[in-house]
Amino acid sequence: MNTVHIVPASKEDVASIKKIIDSSELFPSELIDDMIASYLDKTAPHEIWLTAKRKDIAVAVAFCAPEPMTQGTYNLYMIAVEKEFRHNGIGSQLMSFIEEKLATEGVRLLIVETAGTDQLILTRDFYDKLNYERVGYIPNFYSEGEDKVIFSKSLV
């Protein structure tokens, strides 16, 4: 298992975050600038962006924020580990850090949404392994034939 140092993301991490996103092939890394802007300029004080670093280089990233119109619920919008560092426990360390941080801040529930495609079976297995409960399924959500699978975990 690779031990990492988990810290809040900074402006200096954006290039590394884009590299991580490119290696994950989750979505175009060009979207990161807009996604992280309100966090970096401190207009979204409840957003959490974290990087997991090895030797001061970000090798993983996570982003979560309060779920609108709820009390004490956060949504994990993104977690990604650089391709060469996957399957070494870094994602689990990052999730554990997030869960502990949110719990100490009084957050009661963390939800995660992912696609139900064959390409993301390891992602769904990852959340199963971390004791997230599959609580929802919406057929054809992302596109025709691409379902949404919703997981949740109580933090209290």
**Residues 44-74: tens digit of each pLDDT:** 989 999 999 998 899 999 999 999 999 999 9
Going from N- to C-terminal start, the domains of the chain cover: 5-112
CA 52 to chain CA centroid, Å, is 12
**Residue 1 banded pLDDT, cuts 50, 70, 90:** low
Angle subtended at Cα 146 by Cα 118 and Cα 82, rounded to the nearest 5 degrees: 55
Q: Does this model's pTM top 0.85? A: yes
pLDDT value of position 121 = 93
What superfamily does domain 5-112 belong to in CATH?
Gcn5-related N-acetyltransferase (GNAT) (3.40.630.30)
**Residue 2 banded pLDDT, cuts 50, 70, 90:** low
Torsion angles phi and psi, residue 50, rounded to 5: -125, 150
**pLDDT over 80 (residue 146):** yes
> What mean pLDDT value characterizes the chain?
95
10 to each of 19, 103, 114, 115, 122, how far by Cα in Å?
15, 23, 26, 28, 29
The whole-number average pLDDT for the span 121-129 is 95
The whole-number average pLDDT for the span 14-41 is 93
